[in-house]
A and B are shown apart, each in its own frame.
Chain A
Amino acid sequence: MSTEAPHIPTSPGAPPLVTGNQTFASVTENICRITERKTPPVWYLALGAAMSLLLVLFGSIGYLFWEGTGIWGLNNPVGWGWAIINFVWWVGIGHAGTLISAILFLLRQRWRTSINRFAEAMTLFAISCALIFPGIHVGRIWVAYWMFPIPNQMQMWPNFRSPLLWDVFAVSTYFAASLLFWFTGLIPDLATFRDRATSKIKKYIFGFLALGWRGGNRQWRHYELAYLILAGISTPLVLSVHSVVSTDFAISIIPGWHTTIFPPYFVAGAIFSGFAMVVTLTIIARKLFHLEDFITVNHLERMNKIILLTGSMVGYAYGMEFFIAWYSGNIYEQAVFLNRAFGQYAWAYWIMISCNVIVPQLFWFRKLRTSIPVMFIASLLINVGMWFERFVIVVTSLAQDFLPANWDYYRPTIWDISTFVGSFGLFFTLFLLFIRFLPMISITEVKAVLPQADPHQGGSHE
């Protein structure tokens, strides 16, 4: 047996995660500057536009409360229309944020540090938008509290065997857990803001929010474990949320809805659309705030790879649904799928296929997945495609149900559209406030992945 040290090859150093020879101080400076400088006029313009849309949302909801769900395009067989489509779409978008903050953390993907704060904020705002729809579509909004197990005058309880109730629990837990996770990540950064604050008001607000954080290792050791635990429980949570959403459809016996692959298929689709949204927003934000050193093309490329992966999973699920519909020998299943592809909603189906299955295939080519214009357009198309996926699922299975005499064509009304468009107002208003007042990139975590943060300089732990 040889006693000399074995030969061990070494890797040619990986490209740096952030560029521009950043120091700890320059990281603080570059990220804090965004919120500390004078408010740029563009921000006011954008906020004005977003809040106008928000008014559209409030107006649409107000009219809905006054008049009832009859203002929507729902008809006899199609009792679920845009409200559930928008709900599923927004919740799905949220999933990328949790994937980045939790799953990529557990997988030790250190590149996530540049985008996780931003993506988690997107998650919170997307869930906020999503929560509107189940809230308002119940019709009698003043008894919406019946969704919760609160004793009421009828002495009845919610039906815990209903997936709609599981949604209430899953999505509100998802919101709460994401908020706690996000806040946990923010604490050290809030301390940075506190310590840099110049005005008294800011000192008080950030001093209060930072909870007296001192960055001592006696604190870090609990903090790091808390972060790990939150990541650990968010991982099954994010898988469960869209699985539960999928059961809204899959536990029924409606052809096209009742199929066992729905839970993982919905989760893959959610992550797919969420990453597309993160890419869209990231491209705009990095350009606007000159964050090219922090969010490099390398980051975007990695996200595009995840889009390619999840897009292929979605394609796989479409294929399985189609194959098993044929294989089952069930004529109703077969009819639904033929109808999807060639029936009255074929246009929606082919939008879905082109955007969700064909467009991501562009990312097989390095040139395309590193090209900003290409990925920007692709990410927009994917979000359109994923909206149409939910449209196809919800509408095609309902519009032609078991009784041909009931068949009808579903058309949205102006109020369907205004509520959906208005929800973007809420999303962007929250987003603009976030980037103006809070650190949109995690200062602490980016510092921790700088090469000089390693106390044993030179040794790599990856």
Chain B
Amino acid sequence: MQYDQHTYRLTDTGNYGTVALIVGVVGLIGSAVGYITDPAQFFHSYLTAFFFWLSLGLGGLFFVMLHHLVGAKWSVVLRRLSENIMMTIPVMAMLFIPLLFGIKELFHWSHPELVATDHLLQSKEPYLNVTFFILRAVVYFVIWMLLAFLLNRYSLKQDQAHDNKLVRTLRVISAPGMILFALSITFAGFDWLMSLDAHWYSTIFGVYVFSGNLLGMLAFLTFSILSLQSKNVLTGVITPEHHHDLGKLLFAFTVFWAYMAFSQYFLIWYGNIPEETVWFLERWESSWKIISLLLVFGHFAVPFFVLFPAGAKRHRGVLMVISIWLLIMHWVDLHWLVMPSLHPHGIHFSWMDPVTMIGLGGVFVWLFRRRTAAKPLVPVNDPGLGDSIRFINH
């Protein structure tokens, strides 16, 4: 891999992207085989994998908007890479289409004969019906793509011209964007994950989903920065000071995720109302308990204690390992949210879980690589770039 430190561009990117695409396509073909052999398993695995990769893009979208809104200086050097993660959303929107054929397999509220015998589902019918479900999904993707396109467009425009007004433009997009984002990710979480168990409900669920998404995205961002830097790309631009801040963010959002997860669990545990506890009971009474405990320790305790010392947040090796670990845990979290709906009696791993992950992941990585290769790796004309590079953490 070749990198021109004058223009911040990759001049020779190697063939990682192509390899990723080939792997992705093979994975998707494998998934298609899964669809033929066991459609129910396929759709659940695909939903998990799809939400995983989409969530990174959504996390990227949030991170970029947050950056613009607060006018942060230190994170300017991370902005373009975050935008590259964000710009996978449009293709993810297309990869959502297969799920539309799985509504019947995934959501029991979509079966009229079940709804006819279920008083609760009848009362939810104005919201939980196939037409409105699809309509909402379209709205979510329109919002996300619109925001992503606009943010991307003005960001690239900024690369061309020394125009400080664009800083303001980007902020003006981000402010209402944040509200639209908060609402859309909440309801997407309700629709695609919470309504898998259509009886169950939790007001914090949207925030819980969001916290996991953002943590996953930060882990992916850290991972990609460190792997770029291991090839001598962006060294001296993204410094240990930025690593330190990424470490702090990973730490902070680990705690944030735990706070949301604990709030949800704790209040339902204490209230002990059958209609609510059933959801946790399903994930506690059978072998799913192992995954539940894995989340407590792996998604919270391990990263918490590993990232606690200041030294660890600046240590590339530690950051690399913990970001991969957090990505795995993010998948485990989603698996734990989705799979008990299909396999209520205990843990069930299918070969389709990794294959759908690889299929969608290959496409994701290809998209990310392609954009990383095509554009400067940092917003070259952002007025905060100099401050960001010289930034010292204290």
Contacts and interface: CB of A to CB of B under 8 A. Distances in A.
Nearest to B71: A14
Nearest to A334: B123
A9 B378 CA distance: 12
A438 B16 CA distance: 63
B227 interface: no
Interface in A404-462: 459-462
A233 to B, nearest CB: 12
A76 interface: no
A259 B259 contact: no
A260 B264 contact: yes
Interface in A227-262: 236, 239, 243, 247, 250-253, 258-262
Given A8-B389, A258-B267, A364-B175, A263 B259 contact: yes
Interface in B192-220: 199, 201-207
Interface string B375-394: 00000111111110111101
Given A7-B6, A460-B387, A262 B267 contact: yes
Nearest to B262: A263
B204 A261 contact: yes
B139 to A, nearest CB: 16
Contacts of B267: 247, 250-251, 258-260, 262-263
A402 interface: no
A135 interface: no
B387 A261 contact: no
Interface in B145-160: none
Interface in A326-361: 327-330
A12 interface: yes
Looking at A8, A236, A259, the one whose CB has the most chain B CB atoms below 10 A away is A8
Nearest to B179: A312
Interface in B65-95: 73-74
Interface residues of A, number: 41
A156 interface: no
Interface in A1-57: 1-2, 4, 6-12
B162 A460 contact: no
Nearest to A315: B179
A243 B390 contact: no
A264 B256 CA distance: 10
Given A261-B207, A263-B263, A324-B203, A459 B390 contact: yes
A243 B263 contact: yes
Given A8-B386, A330-B275, A260 B268 contact: yes
B203 A7 contact: no
A208 interface: no
Contacts of B302: none
Contacts of B204: 260-261, 263-264
B273 interface: yes
A316 interface: yes
B164 A12 contact: yes
Contacts of B179: 312
B263 A258 contact: no
B2 interface: yes
A16 to B, nearest CB: 16
Nearest to A249: B267
A271 to B, nearest CB: 15
A120 interface: no
Contacts of A389: none
Interface in B345-394: 380-387, 389-392, 394
B235 to A, nearest CB: 12
B6 A10 contact: no
B120 interface: yes
A462 B273 contact: no
Interface in B253-282: 255, 259-260, 263-264, 266-268, 270-273, 275
A169 to B, nearest CB: 16
A167 interface: no
B271 A8 contact: no
Across chains A and B, which 9 residue pairs bring their CB atoms closest together, nearest first? A261-B203, A2-B6, A260-B204, A251-B270, A8-B386, A329-B123, A263-B263, A261-B204, A329-B120
Given A259-B203, A260-B204, A462-B73, 18 more contacts: A1-B5, A2-B6, A6-B5, A7-B380, A9-B381, A9-B383, A236-B255, A243-B263, A251-B266, A253-B271, A259-B267, A260-B203, A260-B264, A264-B207, A264-B260, A316-B183, A324-B202, A329-B119
Interface of B: 2-8, 73-74, 119-120, 123-124, 127, 162, 164, 175, 179, 182-183, 186, 190, 199, 201-207, 255, 259-260, 263-264, 266-268, 270-273, 275, 380-387, 389-392, 394
11 contacts: A1-B3, A9-B381, A10-B383, A259-B203, A259-B267, A261-B204, A264-B259, A312-B179, A320-B203, A327-B124, A462-B73
